[in-house]
Amino acid sequence: MAETIDGRKLARKIFLNLHLEMQQYRQHSCVPGLALVHVGKHPESQIYLRQKQKIAEELGIRVQLEHLSEQTNVEKIVDVIDRLNRDAMIHGILVQSPLPNRSQESEIFNHVAAEKDVDGFSAVNLGKLCQGDASGFWPCTPSGVYHMIQSTGIPIEGKRVVVLGRSLIVGKPMGLILMQNHSNANATVTFCHSKTRDMVDIMRQADIVIAAIGSPAFVKASMVKPGACVIDVGITRVPDPSKRLGYRLQGDVDFEAVSQVADFITPVPGGVGPMTIAMLMQNTFKAYQQQIE
Ligand SMILES: NC(=O)c1ccc[n+]([C@@H]2O[C@H](COP(=O)([O-])OP(=O)(O)OC[C@H]3O[C@@H](n4cnc5c(N)ncnc54)[C@H](OP(=O)(O)O)[C@@H]3O)[C@@H](O)[C@H]2O)c1
């Protein structure tokens, strides 16, 4: 039976450390400032933003919410980002993904000043990750997954990793992080996507599987090598009349079945989600330190 990697517990540890570190800046004239830009009314995004705001404020980070209507054009969104880039009281800027028009995401992310890009989605920060330059910000979800894998104590070096999904915010940076030329990484990474052939054969060779495709319970026990570490990034609302809200959150992995064959597994909820927020807080604090020093 697989050991469950508890994202909430790991995140709590990170919040505690951040809280202690922030004490050193109590006397400073400005507190860390995080701007959350939300375009449209995506229901999950509203939930994630509320969670991010709550945790940030508990840590002493001042949060500024910028809500823009679904019809807001790129120029207007960029104007808001430019204003936040110039605001000395804002140290981190997050543009909540997905945007109503996903094809505009890269253009918009690239407008966030690299030193305030705490989500790590700008070309500068993704480029730094690609170059192995640690001065940038890593995207929060893959960074959180990396922490979770490290928490198991499994040596990553030389392991075969399969990443399901090749998005710019999860899949691609995830692979880049795990194949860094570093003794805590050095994995052999294979990416799978919607056009991949023989995916099950590829997956069955993986020591570590990271599922980030948004397809509920897609990963079955028969696709997983016995003893593998399985990380579930996916989150989808699936109808469930037994729940008060009429739905439940389902990951990309069939948790019960895969738990029977894997050595480590992450739950949904309570897995990667809390770690994504923890990494955002860490990045915001790093941005604050860099900007005030
Ligand atoms: N826990 C968190 O904090 C967190 C954070 C971010 C995202 N998520 C969740 O993670 C999931 C992925 O997010 P995303 O933003 O990366 O999604 P995305 O941009 O829609 O990308 C999905 C990727 O999965 C691939 N894909 C889709 N169906 C597939 C299939 N049946 N077989 C193989 N590949 C398939 C797509 O392939 P193509 O490129 O060929 O289309 C694409 O590369 C979503 O459920 C999202 O809600 C969770």
Domains in the chain with CATH codes: 32-114 (3.40.50.10860), 140-273 (3.40.50.720)
* Whole-number pLDDT of residue 61: 97
Nearest to 61 by CA among 254, 283, 243: 283
Examine the residue annotation and report whether 96 is marked as an active-site residue of this protein: yes
Average of per-residue pLDDT values in the chain: 97
Q: What is the pLDDT of residues 17-54, one digit of tens each?
A: 999 999 999 888 899 999 999 999 988 898 899 999 99
Instruction: Give residue 227's region: left, alpha or beta (phi > 0; psi -120 to 50).
Output: left
Please count the residues of the chain.
Answer: 293
- Kindly state if the Cβ of 164 falls inside 6 Å of ligand 1: yes
Residue of minimum CA distance from atom 32 in ligand 1: 194
Pocket test for ligand 1, best of 99, 168, 170 (most atoms within 8 A of CB): 170
pTM above 0.85, yes or no: yes
**Token pair 């505009």: residue:** 104
92 lines ligand 1 (CB under 6 A): no
DSSP secondary structure string for all residues of 247-288? EEEE-SB-HHHHHTT-SEE--SSSSHHHHHHHHHHHHHHHHH
User: Known catalytic residue: 119?
Assistant: yes
Looking at residue 293, its pLDDT comes to 86
Q: What is the pLDDT of residues 193-251, one digit of tens each?
A: 999 999 999 999 999 999 999 999 999 999 999 999 999 999 999 999 999 999 999 99
